[in-house]
Amino acid sequence: MKSLRILLYAVIMLLLAPGCKRPEQAALLLSGEVAEDTCTVVGDSVEVSDMTRMAWAKADSMLHEMTLEERVGQCFMPALYASDDSATLRKLRGYILDLHVGGVVLLKGNLRSAALMAGMGMLTRMPLFTAIDAEWGLGMRLEDAPDFPRNGRLTPQADEVLLFDYGSEVARECRRVGINMVLGPVIDVSENPRGVIGSRSFGGDPVRVADLGVAYARGVESGGVLSVAKHFPGHGNAKGDSHVTKPVIGRSLHQLDSVDLYPFRSYINAGLSGVMVGHLAVPAVDPENLPAAVSAAVIGDLLRDELGFRGLVLTDALNMRGAEGYGAWKALEAGADMVVAPVDTRKEIDGVVSRIKSGEMPADVIDRSCRQILFHKYLLGLDHRQPANLENLLRDVRTGADTILRRLR
């Protein structure tokens, strides 16, 4: 029965039909948890594995055709304001055509500009991930989009059913604009409502954070949009803000395991797609106190090996002070797949290319990440999607938001 549900969702997603209500289907497929060599026959000899196998095959074929510069570029995701002014659009064009970036993160702006920029990213040889912080909906970044309550201000009666519906609605709005990746949910366990993470978190109970965060992410992914949980291995206990400093998480391994890692383990076990690693020093995991986003002990040993995560690993924005002094190459060598918002994208890409050509960095580090990125793009069907129709964009995005908003309050 579970295989049947997975198959039904995959067919719907690949046809870009909206509104599937089966959370586990999207989760398993988007994360690649359905193994490449699985041969599960369902119905009239239709194989679930064909869908993932096809995506892997397309990724391998594309990877073989790409230059080193193109492969490295795919591992970068610079940030841009969601604006349709000529300077911003020229910059986006340069990112796509000259630097071959794998995605962009949209900052503050409006729906129409976001849709135009997302549309540019769809009309390329290697379609872009167009990502946005939508921790409480598109209104967090886009001024004319529906604005939902922060996670810590949801009604106490909020449950997994409501959060799944909420995530599904956010995915619907994202699809209408052309956005295909949500940098959320925040599944940090925040015991202090006035702390650094504060109301961005679902609260101080690890079980509730896990239940609501995973339900929201499942809703997002049921709508054909990738979710990215943050900020691994947990920012909720940090005393400092990684935008301005490198916080040190002083918890023991036992405390980390029972509190901070609990929601991430639930997210990973649900087969969901992406994890963002923060700029946090965690001495219990990495005695060198490196920021987690550039730490092989955190990404490779803990996230990949111990917790078994097989999806996309993104860094938090590298232009934050918590990562100051560390280049993109360090994050990629540590196991990150995509570097978000570097200070100078061109310089960082050139630096990685130079390190590979000189033998200082193994090329298979980039190939492994690029293959993972391409796989997720093809599995989402980004190579077949079309730019959003700007007519009635605002009205269409807002359709359905009021019903969810009433339930969240």
What are the residue numbers of the active site? 243, 316
- Encode 251-289: b = buried (16+ Cβ within 10 Å), e = exposed: beeeebeebbbbbbbbbbebbbbbbbbbbbbbeebbeee
Q: In sequence order, what are the beta bridge partners of 104?
A: 130
**What phi, psi does 325 have (nearest 5°)?**
95, -5
User: DSSP assignment of 208-251, as one string?
Assistant: HHHHHHHHHHHHHHHTT-EEEEEEET--TT-SS-TTTS--B---
Range of the domain at 333: 2-408
372: helix, coil or strand? helix
Q: What share of the chain is helix, strand, coil (3-state, %, to 5)?
A: 50, 10, 40
Quote the pLDDT of residue 20. 37
Q: Is 81 helix (H, G, I), strand (E, B) or coil?
A: strand
**What is the value of pTM for the model shown?**
0.88
Instruction: pLDDT tens for the chain, 409 residues: list them.
Output: 434 333 333 333 333 333 333 444 445 455 545 444 433 333 333 344 678 899 999 999 999 999 999 999 999 999 999 999 999 999 999 999 999 999 999 999 999 999 999 999 998 888 999 999 999 999 999 999 998 999 999 999 999 999 999 999 999 999 999 999 999 999 999 877 777 788 899 999 999 999 999 999 999 999 999 999 999 999 877 665 556 466 788 889 999 999 999 999 999 999 999 999 998 889 999 999 999 999 999 999 999 999 999 999 999 999 987 577 788 999 999 999 999 999 999 999 999 999 999 999 999 999 999 999 999 999 999 999 889 989 999 999 999 899 999 999 8
CA distance 369 to 331: 12
In sequence order, the 6+-apart residues with CB closer than 8 A to the CB of 302 are 233, 285
CB-based contacts of 227, cutoff 8 Å, min separation 6: 167, 182, 184, 185, 216, 217, 220, 221, 272, 273, 274
Coil/strand/helix, residue 162: helix
pLDDT at 50: 78
pLDDT value of residue 224: 95
What's 176's domain CATH number? 3.20.20.300
For 201, the token pair is 């978190």
- 41: part of which helix (H) or strand (E)? strand 41-42
Bridge-partner residues for 154, per DSSP?
Answer: none
Q: How many domains does the chain have?
A: 1
DSSP secondary structure, 295-311, as one string = -HIIIIIIIIIIS---S
The pLDDT assigned to 49 comes to 67
